[in-house]
Structure 1
Amino acid sequence: MKELYIISESKTTAKGYINRNKQKNLGCRYEKGSDHGQYFYILECQHCGKQYKSNGSDIFQRKCPECQGGNP
């Protein structure tokens, strides 16, 4: 049986959270992220509309890879 993972809903990982760079959290993908113990979330740039994945631990500081020079 596959283990069920519970994801914490802290402020930055809450759906709808917008960080200081105007990147909106659209929710968790329930896909293991690239950082230890993290999951990927979908962020949407409020400037240009680009959507991209981010580790939960990076949401607070992410910049858009399209218009702000953030990591892809």
Structure 2
Amino acid sequence: MNKETTNPGYINKNKQMNFGRTEEQGIDHGQWFYTIECQNCNFKFKANGTDIWQRKCSNCQGGQP
């Protein structure tokens, strides 16, 4: 299992899978946005690299939009 949160394929404890880094700078200092997909409902969203480990789906888990 891939344990690095910023590596594609990482799945956090809330069943959110990292699909890799985008070319868009994130909103945290020195961060990039990553494409994340909910494994429960297949909703895709972006997250800062520092947030991947804890993100929840905004569509079905009440996470940040």
Q: TM-score range by the shorter chain?
A: over 0.9
Question: Could you tell me the percent identity over the aligned residues?
Answer: 59
Tell me which structure has the larger Cα radius of gyration: 1
Distance in structure 2 (CA, Å) of the matches to 1:21 and 1:60: 9
Q: If the length of structure 2 is used for normalisation, what is the TM-score?
A: 0.94
Name the SS of the counterpart of 2:17 in structure 1. Answer: strand
1:20 pairs with 6, 13, 25, which one?
Answer: 13
Q: What RMSD in Å do the two structures reach over aligned CA positions?
A: 1.0
Q: Tell me which residue corresponds to 2:49.
A: 56
Q: Structure 2: which 5+ runs fail to align?
A: none
1:1-72 residue pairs with structure 2 within 5 A?
11-72=4-65
Deviations 1:10-68 (A, max 9, x none): 80000000000000000100210011110000000000000000000000000000000
TM-score, length-scaled by structure 1: 0.85
Which blocks of at least 5 consecutive residues in structure 1 are unaligned? 1-9
- Give the whole-Å Cα distance in 2 for the aligned partners of 1:27 and 1:63: 17
- State the distance in 1 between where 2:8 and 2:45 align: 14
